[in-house]
Amino acid sequence: MTPFLHRESSEPLYSQLYHWIKNEIEEGRLLPGMKMPSIRQLTAHLKVSRNTVETAYQQLQSEGYLESVPKSGIWVAEIEKPLLHPIVVEHPIRLESKQSSEVLVDFKYGNIDLEKFPLKQWKKCLSDAVDQVFHYGENQGDFALRREISNYLLQSRGVRSTPEQILVTAGTQASMALICRLLALQEKTVAMEEPGYSGVRSVLKDQGCQIEPVPLEKDGLSMEHIQMSKAKAVYLTPSHQFPFGMIMSISKRMRLLKWAYQTGGYIIEDDYDSEFRYRGQPIPSLKSLDEEERVIYLGTFSKSFLPSARLSYIVFPSSLMVQYSRKFAAYKQSASPIIQRAMAMFMQSGEFERHIRRMRKIYQRKHQTLLRSIEQYMGNQVKIVGEKSGLHILLKLKGVTAFELIEAGFQKGVKVYSPSRFWLNPNPENDSYIMLGFGGLSIEEIENGVRLLASCIP
């Protein structure tokens, strides 16, 4: 890999390298699954500073072009098409400023608080499960776990279900792939929020669905667009829109249900982090309002408990469960039966509910610290978006682009991320947002990170 870098150009070397690698990936010359040279190797090969390569790689990873695998290296990632528009750096940041490869604060979304994780109790449940589970397990998932999920959803989200309606899966993407096949959505139109969760969008594309991006309004997706569309199904995150954070109003929820009843369409409700709401009263889930079995409910333990458990679940309408039993009778369970049984015991013991209550308080304190620090250090230089719930917020920037702030922050040891990959059809305004996840950070790290980041805004 030998890009030609113009050392006399006004564009910094890291920016030239970033654009060259990005173009090679988009043009198909660097293929998904190919291993990239290490930072040390590329630094020596190109005879540039380590920071030049590290900064370029960091931006490519944040945008999803590359992925870093611990103890394995850096690899070309699977990317979605249509490809994102190139980001134009209007005011390049000079590398003569203070350079740092040490990450002090990482605002990565998806990290959880490990310091307060009930490791001792979880290890005991795992140990007990190992002594009990030796076979493949039930096709729908461990019955004890499905029973606990059913009870939990009734208490926390008002969702009435039976264990027989619940299917355990190994993640939301696995859930969506199965739903696409069950509903025969290949070559059919599926509507989803714009922007929306790119992981699900990738699945829809892979399953051959025609994606209809639906613009957002202050209280959720545009119902006018849904009603004019030919969608057979709608995927959405109504209780905490991802990534913008707005909550779908009760009136829109009722209109969406009416659309499903009238058209025979299905609503796929992803309730991915409803446990963590910091303002106001929870709005009922769409599933709890559904009277004609048109809502398919998705849940996960990744945000509320542990991402590495790889446990998610689907609550099907009874009629679809009958179809599933016929169509997928030969399919074995994809999630580990041992992890499932351990999770069932963890919930049966009451530890899960205690964990949720404890983490809700902890995350609320972190959330308050984040908002207070932004107000203190950034003031009116940014606008906070989606601050009512969840484990992330967006900042709408003024006077600086996301790319510039990401690069400047990295020079000071702060990693922040662009949400641009969540748009199907990017536009220049997307470059004015950055995403801050705070679940895995301490109070001190949040304060320090915001302070350092604020010093990067002109």
Instruction: Tell me the pLDDT band of 224, cut-offs 50, 70 and 90.
Output: very high
Out of 108-112, 192-196, 249-253, 389-393, the most confident range is 192-196
Q: Which 8-state DSSP code applies to residue 378?
A: T
pLDDT of residue 55: 87
Residue 354 has pLDDT above 90, yes or no: yes
53 plus 106 within the same structural domain: no
Burial class (CB in 10 A: 0-12, 13-18, 19+), 456: buried
Residue 100 has pLDDT above 60, yes or no: no
Of 305, 324, 349, which one is at a domain's C-terminal end?
A: 349
pLDDT of residue 269: 97
177 plus 297 within the same structural domain: yes
53-93 confidence digits (pLDDT tens): 888 888 888 778 888 887 788 988 876 544 444 444 444 33
Q: 298 in the Ramachandran plot: left (φ > 0), alpha (ψ -120 to 50) or beta?
A: beta
Per-residue pLDDT averaged across 102-117, rounded?
A: 88
pLDDT of residue 1: 66
398 plus 344 within the same structural domain: no
Phi, psi at residue 83, to the nearest 5°? -75, 155
Residue 229 lies in a domain: yes
**Where in the sequence is the domain holding 17, given as residue range(s)?**
1-79
Q: Are 436 and 452 in contact (CB under 8 A)?
A: no
69 plus 99 within the same structural domain: no
Alpha helices in 284-350 (DSSP H): 286-289, 318-327, 337-348
Residue 117 lies in a domain: no
Q: Following DSSP, what letter does each residue of 414-445 receive, concatenated?
A: EE-B--GGG-SS--GGGGGEEEEE-TT--HHH
Instruction: Tell me the pLDDT band of 280, cut-offs 50, 70 and 90.
Output: low
Per-residue pLDDT averaged across 333-337, rounded?
A: 94
Residue 357 lies in a domain: yes
244 plus 108 within the same structural domain: no
Among 89-98, 178-187, 256-265, the range scoring the smallest mean pLDDT is 89-98
Distance CA 159, CA 150 (A): 8
Peptide bond preceding 3: is omega within 30 degrees of 0, i.e. cis?
no
Residue 283 has pLDDT above 80, yes or no: no
Share of the chain above pLDDT 70, in %: 94
pLDDT of residue 103: 81
Q: How many domains does the chain fold into?
A: 3
Residue 392 lies in a domain: yes
Residue 29 lies in a domain: yes
125-173 confidence digits (pLDDT tens): 999 999 999 998 899 999 999 999 999 999 888 899 999 999 999 999 9
* pTM > 0.85: no
Residue 118 lies in a domain: no
355-378 confidence digits (pLDDT tens): 999 999 999 999 999 999 999 999
Instruction: Tell me the pLDDT band of 41, cut-offs 50, 70 and 90.
Output: confident
pLDDT of residue 90: 41
Share of the chain above pLDDT 90, in %: 64
257 plus 196 within the same structural domain: yes
Alpha helices in 68-197 (DSSP H): 119-132, 143-157, 172-182
Cα-Cα-Cα-Cα torsion 154, 160, 164, 166, nearest 10 degrees, comes to -60
178-199 confidence digits (pLDDT tens): 999 999 999 999 999 999 999 9
Residue 119 lies in a domain: no
CATH code, 220: 3.40.640.10
Whose CA is closest to 17, among 301, 341, 407, 354?
407
Residue 69 lies in a domain: yes
Residue 241 is encoded by which pair of tokens? 């829109």
Q: Are 315 and 299 in contact (CB under 8 A)?
A: yes
371 plus 259 within the same structural domain: no
361 plus 342 within the same structural domain: no
Among 68-72, 322-326, 396-400, the range scoring the smallest mean pLDDT is 68-72
